[in-house]
Structures are given as structure tokens and as C-alpha cells.
Amino acid sequence: MGASMVERAIGAARLDPAVYEDVEKDPTALGQAMAVVALAALCSGIGAAQGGVGMILLGVVGALVGWFIWAAIIFVVGTMILPEPSTDADLGQVLRCIGFAAAPGILMAAGFIPLLGAIIALVATIWQLAATVVAVRQALDYTSTGRAVGVCVLGFLAYIIATIAVLTPLMVASNAS
């Protein structure tokens, strides 16, 4: 049996590759990964201190959907476009690792503190990016951190294009009515 969610989240935030390996190999950790994503989104909503409970809940749902889409894009880019010979991964492994990479986002709860909150949010965002690179490297069994960075950059570009492709027609339709 693997470590607790809290132990794993702390290890993931410490950028410990062994934690990401543990999560990658434990199919039962998907619920934990989902909880980390939801908690980070909840903390971000609290830190923003605006919009009320409904907007915070919408943010959590949006974060969960975004997590799935982001992991799917990382999976495709990492296994089909930029694989290494050692790459052997499935979508569940990527979902679990990427989910735990959201752990530093829990610090976003401090976002409502004037000035300090913005600094903490910036640090947490950069920290999440670093955690995502470690998660990608471990989930895709890469030996190269540079390749993991490349997958994240290409994946992010694809994510932005997909988001624009989905949101633009929705925005046009809502403005037309």
C-alpha cells in the first residue's frame, strides 16, 4: 500500500522523483490525485476571495476538467511525438503524476493577503511548473529533464490552442444572443 495523500502531496511539492514513481505505479492513487487538484483549485478560489461559493465550485470543476485535458495532451505529446526509447506510460499514470504536481497550488489560499498574496501566488505557480516537469519526467519514464520541459512547452501550446478553439465559438454565441 502506498503512502497517504498528505505524505504524497508533501513529497510531490518537494519535487521528490520517488514520490512521483510511487504514484505512477499505484492505480489506486487516482482518487488522491483528483483530491489534490480539487484542493489546489479550492485554495486558489479562497485566495482570490471573490465570486462566492458558486464561483469557487465552478473553479474546482474547471480545474478537474483542465487537469484531465492537460494530462491527455501531455500523454499524447510525450508518448507519440517526443517519446524516449524507455517511454512506457498510460493515461492513468500521467493523470496521477500531473495531479500530484498541483500540490504547491495549495499555497494559493494566501492569495487574498495584500501584496504578499500575489508573491505567494507567483511562487506557487512557478513551483507547480517545476513539479509538473518532474511529474512528466517520471510518468513518461524519461531520462532527460530537457525532454520533459519540451513536452510541457509543446503540451501547453496545444492546451492554449484547444482552449481558444473551444472558447471562441462559445464567446461568439453568447455575444450573439
Is residue 7 within 8 A of residue 25, CB to CB? The reply is no
The tens place of each residue's pLDDT in the chain, 177 residues long, gives: 568 999 999 999 999 999 999 999 999 999 999 999 999 999 988 887 776 788 888 888 888 989 999 999 999 999 999 999 999 999 999 999 999 999 999 999 998 888 898 899 899 999 999 999 999 999 999 999 999 999 999 999 998 998 888 778 877 777 776
Q: How far apart are alpha carbons 124 and 108 in whole angstroms?
A: 7
The answer, as to whether pTM is greater than 0.85, is yes
Is residue 70 within 8 A of residue 159, CB to CB? The reply is yes
